[in-house]
Chain A
């Protein structure tokens, strides 16, 4: 029984440099901070970072799965508070959970949690879905 306050099952996505390249091609965002370590460091980043929108797309997949498909996602928002750092040759986690915040008229509001290496990467992440 899903009710207000229910915590949904955790899902872990894994990100590596190949996924960042695939997302760059799929989204059209070829900013070198997401692919080129030398460039990323030169602009003050610790290493290559994932696109915030890749993080949001993966969490969006979690939301779609809960909703029974992308067509049921009505609203989705997030703030990018910390980067997901993706060193060469590593697979880093993106760990996602959600709490049901409200149920009204068949619509579920989710409060989403997304962390990588134990650090919260999305803030104020919310979705409203039909289910």
Chain B
């Protein structure tokens, strides 16, 4: 079970991440995008889900990642990202509830480049009973 005391808290991700052209190329290839100069709109899930896993499974938070399914997802893109961008990620646990034994957690991630917010993303994650 998620520690309810963590709701409302913001957690910094472990490290900054520098986007490589090859990882953008690979993502574009899957969806058939020929313009690889800019990351596709959902590309940064590659960063945020990894960081969420690291943060939310910390012992003091306690989410069970093995029974997780993705409920919904939203992106707000203030400035698109591209290869060479150095991004930091912070995750805020916005809400938490238990319904029919399922844990439902809403997490916001904020990606910053040079201290400026470039993408906010909201994920609703469901840990199945």
- Judging by beta carbons under 8 Å apart, are A52 and B77 in contact? no
CB within 8 Å: A-B pair count: 90
- Chain A positions within 8 Å of B, measured between CB atoms, are 13, 19, 22-23, 25-29, 52-54, 56-58, 60-61, 63-64, 69-71, 73-80, 124
- Judging by beta carbons under 8 Å apart, are A52 and B73 in contact? yes
Q: Per a CB cutoff under 8 Å, which of A26, A54, A76 touches B41?
A: A76
Residues of B within 8 A of A57 (CB): 27, 30-31, 40, 42
Complex Cα distance, B10 from A31, in Å, reads 26
- Chain B positions within 8 Å of A, measured between CB atoms, are 23, 26-27, 29-33, 35, 38-42, 45-46, 49-50, 69-77, 80, 122
Give me 7 A-to-B residue pairs in the complex whose CB atoms sit less than 8 angstroms apart, sorted by A's number. Answer: A27-B49, A29-B49, A56-B42, A57-B40, A69-B38, A76-B42, A77-B74
Given A27-B46, A53-B49, 20 further pairs, Cβ under 8 A: A19-B30, A23-B30, A25-B26, A26-B23, A27-B27, A28-B46, A29-B49, A53-B45, A53-B70, A54-B30, A56-B42, A58-B31, A60-B40, A60-B41, A73-B41, A73-B77, A73-B80, A77-B74, A78-B73, A79-B71
* Chain B interface mostly: mixed
Q: How far is the CB of A75 from chain B (nearest CB, A)?
A: 5
Q: How far is the CB of B44 from chain A (nearest CB, A)?
A: 10
Residues of A within 8 A of B29 (CB): 22, 26
Q: Per a CB cutoff under 8 Å, which of B23, B33, B46, B49 touches A70?
A: B33
Q: How far is the CB of A121 from chain B (nearest CB, A)?
A: 12
- Judging by beta carbons under 8 Å apart, are A60 and B26 in contact? no
Complex Cα distance, B29 from A58, in Å, reads 11
| Nearest 8 A/B pairs, CB to CB | A77-B74, A79-B72, A26-B26, A73-B41, A61-B31, A26-B27, A60-B41, A70-B38
